[in-house]
């Protein structure tokens, strides 16, 4: 049995850990913070390949992840929802359009999986533990430190990766009470700023911002007001909705796209899996398949 240490407790690290367990590996997840303290926990977590390029591996990841989330929604996995989505487009069908997508009158309509991370991340963790995995709270400067304990280390540390091409992209969103919505709405190219409305079971996510190289984690009241104004303009039912709070996170983006590759040394193999930007949930399960191939192939 292969011993693997996964470094990082966000959605990329934990989906990789599950795929590795499914293929017979013995897995330990090492993370500096609790899974609900990662950037994955504050994400809108809606399947949408935002700010990604249509390269073959990315297309494979988003398609496989889409299929997996559909299966999980049907199976009743905690926190996984499907939402009808209406998106304003100004051209043809995008490269990532799912099988049920249609376009008319400059509106793309499709079904999008959504994950409520306060439920979904604990479910991932519980699944890893119930399959014999361990979680260790520890700060690790250099992943190679862990090669003495495992033959392979998966580095899924996001912004903590020591890679000059990795940079933060700040995102702010607003949570409001759900006034009875069950359809998501997106306007990615709104001149006033990215606009999305994602209703969940007990609240609605309004967004948002996409600010490369900005690092502040304090919510900006002016941004909050602008987000609410943009979202209310496209979904008037939101007018007067009670504001529940703000969420701010730093997405781990990378020049050249996500790094998913294996590097061997005399001490063992390190598989790198980071730099997914704002599409970590969208690429997670497909990327996890490739990580498992690199670890066990």
Is residue 182's pLDDT more than 90? yes
The distance from CA 289 to its chain's CA centroid, rounded to whole angstroms, is 15
pLDDT tens for each residue of 245-265: 999 999 999 999 999 999 999
Residue 68 scores a pLDDT above 90: yes
Q: Is the pLDDT of residue 106 over 90?
A: no
Cα 26 to Cα 131: distance, rounded to the nearest angstrom: 9
The DSSP string of 199-268 is: E-SSEEEEE---EET----SPPHHHHHHHHHHHHHH-GGGTTPPEEEEEEEEEEEETTS-EEEEEEETTE
Residue 155 burial (CB count, 10 A): 26
Cα 86 from Cα 81, distance rounded (Å): 16
Bond from prior residue into 208 cis (ω within 30 degrees of 0): yes
Query: What does the alpha-carbon distance between residue 66 and residue 48 come to, in Å, rounded to a whole number?
Result: 9
Please determine, for residue 60, whether its predicted confidence score (pLDDT) is greater than 90.
yes
At 162-176, the pLDDT tens digits run 999 999 999 999 999
pLDDT of residue 1: 63
Q: What are phi and psi of 8, to 5 degrees?
A: 125, 130
Which structural domains are found in the chain, ordered by start? 3-296 (3.40.50.720)
**Chain segment 82-95, per-residue pLDDT in tens:** 999 999 886 678 89
- Token pair of 113 as six digits: 């999986």
Provide the terminal-to-terminal Cα distance of the chain, rounded to the nearest Å: 13
Q: Distances in Å between the alpha carbon of 286 and those of 12, 65, 76, 121, 295?
A: 10, 5, 20, 17, 15
Contact indicator for 83, 44 with CB cutoff of 8 Å: no
CA distance 287 to 65: 8
Which residues pair with residue 253 across a beta bridge? 167
How confident is residue 194, by pLDDT bands cut at 50, 70 and 90?
very high
Q: For a pLDDT cut of 90, what percent of the chain falls above it?
A: 91
Residue 221 has a pLDDT of: 97
At residue 32, does pLDDT exceed 70?
A: yes
pLDDT tens-digit map of 3-16: 999 999 999 999 99
């Amino acid at each position: 049995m292969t011993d693997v240490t996964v470094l990082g407790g966000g959605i990329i690290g934990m989906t990789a850990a599950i795929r590795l367990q499914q293929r017979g590996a013995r897995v330990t997840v090492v993370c500096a913070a609790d899974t609900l303290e990662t950037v994955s926990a504050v994400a809108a977590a809606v399947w949408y390949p935002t700010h990604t390029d249509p390269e073959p591996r990315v297309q494979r990841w988003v398609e496989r992840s889409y299929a997996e989330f559909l299966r999980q929604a049907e199976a009743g996995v905690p926190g996984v929802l499907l939402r009808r989505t209406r998106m304003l487009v100004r051209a043809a069908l995008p490269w990532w359009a799912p099988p049920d997508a249609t376009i008319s009158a400059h509106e793309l309509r499709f079904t999008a999986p959504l994950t409520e991370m306060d439920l979904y991340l604990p479910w991932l963790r519980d699944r890893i533990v119930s399959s014999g995995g361990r979680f260790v709270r520890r700060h690790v400067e250099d992943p190679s430190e862990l090669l003495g304990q495992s033959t392979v280390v998966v580095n899924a540390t996001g912004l903590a990766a020591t890679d000059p091409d990795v940079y933060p992209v700040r995102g702010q969103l607003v949570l409001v009470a759900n006034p009875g919505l069950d359809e998501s709405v997106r306007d990615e190219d709104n001149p006033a700023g990215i606009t999305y409305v994602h209703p969940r079971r007990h609240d609605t996510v309004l967004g948002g911002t996409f600010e490369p190289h900005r690092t502040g984690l304090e919510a900006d009241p002016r941004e909050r007001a602008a987000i609410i104004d943009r979202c209310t303009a496209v979904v008037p039912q939101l007018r007067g909705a009670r504001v529940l709070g703000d969420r701010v996170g730093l997405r781990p983006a990378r020049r050249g796209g996500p790094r998913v590759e294996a590097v061997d040394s005399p001490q063992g193999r390190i598989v790198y899996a980071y730099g997914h930007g704002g599409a970590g949930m969208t690429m997670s399960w497909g990327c996890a398949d490739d990580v498992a191939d690199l670890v066990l192939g």
